[in-house]
Amino acid sequence: MQTARNVDAAYPRMVELRRAFHREPELAFEEARTARAIMAELDRLGIPHEYGGVGGGVVGRLAGAATGPTVALRAEMDALPGKETTGLPFASIHPERVHACGHDAHMAMVLGAAALLAAAPPPGKVLFVFQPAEERGGGSRVILRSGALVGARAIFGGHVTHHYRVGEIMAVPGVITAQSDRFLVKIQGKGGHGARPHEAVDAAVVAGVLITAIQTLVSREINPVYPSVVTIGKVQAGTAANVIAEEATLEGTIRTTRADVRAHLHHGMQRMGRAIADLHNARVTVHITEGYPPVMNSPREAEIAQRAARRVVGEAGLAAMDYPSMGAEDFAFYLHELPGCYVRFGARIKEDEYIPLHSPAFDVNEEVLKVGAAFFEQVTREALAEYARGG
């Protein structure tokens, strides 16, 4: 693997930072200790920064030249609720919080890139963006509202994954992740005694019918070549074994990559809710809340990212993407405001072992920190050079 400049020398510090972040995870909009650690590292590197306070982001500013374009690099600070089962010596000290999505690695990568760029400043300006609340709350919008990215020409970000091996970087144009929407279905029936169902309207039965019916929206109404998912993740009904449930609720997520498919699924949810309510003499209301939009890499920035990836991992390390992820990412909000590219870094620990993101057992091969830092440094230099040449 080809690496950029002094990434090997920076590696021990990146490992140290990553493990410290991993040991003390913080949830969305609560990243106070994490922000302090990031600011301390930026101070050590001599990089000025600004902080929006608890619930806000940290933005470091490296001015390699008085004039010239500005490029932003982004990492996320928040962790997930849940337990950790990795058994690592630096596992989370908080039993209900865990860095199971790799944000600890992302922060270490961007700080590693900051060290590399500060040691040999590029002919332009670099923003090191550490945002809150990617997992919940769309913390990228906090950064955008702060005005920190005003004047930036592009933004680059990335994510570790076990879908690829260490030394592989996926950088492609177009749709990378899905649109995410959430839904809440409320069912109002008529409660009664379990021994006399004819006197009641069983909300639990209505919920069961609706759960089954909703599954046909994707399987029977959407073209199979268009990726789409409807998942019901939470069901609540009933108060006792011998009481017919008067109310029930269903909560879930809709994931799509096309606007027409998304509209069809939204209308289909409402249609089925009305039809099943009429069928069972119940009242059904369907509430759909818009989530994160799709991540759509801009063509020019994807090409810049590919050039940077080739310099770091070679042609053989440039991975393809067979289909978009049905996950969601609030990096999408940045890409609605300015061009950019979101890549994926292979981080599998064992050749034959795949552990999904958000698993309590998720961990990364720490060699990926070298790859990420080298990529972020190189993509910054490639982008600044191209914008300076081409306007």
Q: What amino acid positions are annotated as catalytic residues? A: 78, 134
Which of helix, strand or coil describes residue 75? Answer: strand
Q: How far is the CA of 316 from the CAs of 40, 167, 311, 320, 343, in angstroms?
A: 37, 9, 11, 10, 16
159 labelled binding-site residue: yes
135 labelled binding-site residue: yes
Q: How far is the CA of 133 from the CAs of 28, 139, 330, in angstroms?
A: 4, 4, 9
- Locate 313 and state its tokens: 């991992």
- Can you say how many angstroms the Cα of residue 73 is from the centroid of all Cα atoms in its chain? 15
Backbone angles phi, psi at 277, to 5 degrees: -60, -45
341 labelled binding-site residue: no
DSSP string spanning 12-52?
HHHHHHHHHHHHS---TT--HHHHHHHHHHHHHHT--EEE-
Give the separation between CA 8 and CA 13, rounded to whole angstroms.
10
- Locate 8 and state its tokens: 């090997």
**36-41: long-range contacts (C-beta < 8 A, 24 or more apart)?**
38/77, 38/107, 38/111, 38/130, 41/17, 41/111, 41/114
295 residue type, one letter: V
Are 94 and 27 contacting, i.e. CB atoms less than 8 angstroms apart?
no
* Residues 6+ away with beta carbon under 8 Å from 42: 48, 49, 58, 60, 111, 114, 128
- Locate 326 and state its tokens: 């049905």
- Locate 242 and state its tokens: 């011998």
Q: Which residues pair with 161 in a beta bridge?
A: 346
Task: List strand residue ranges (DSSP E) for the chain, in order.
Answer: 49-51, 58-63, 70-76, 80-81, 97-98, 125-131, 154-161, 169-170, 174-175, 179-188, 192-193, 228-237, 243-244, 247-256, 283-290, 296-297, 318-319, 340-346
Give binding residues as ranges.
Answer: 101, 103, 135, 159, 358
Give the residue ranges of the annotated binding site for Mn(2+).
Answer: 101, 103, 135, 159, 358
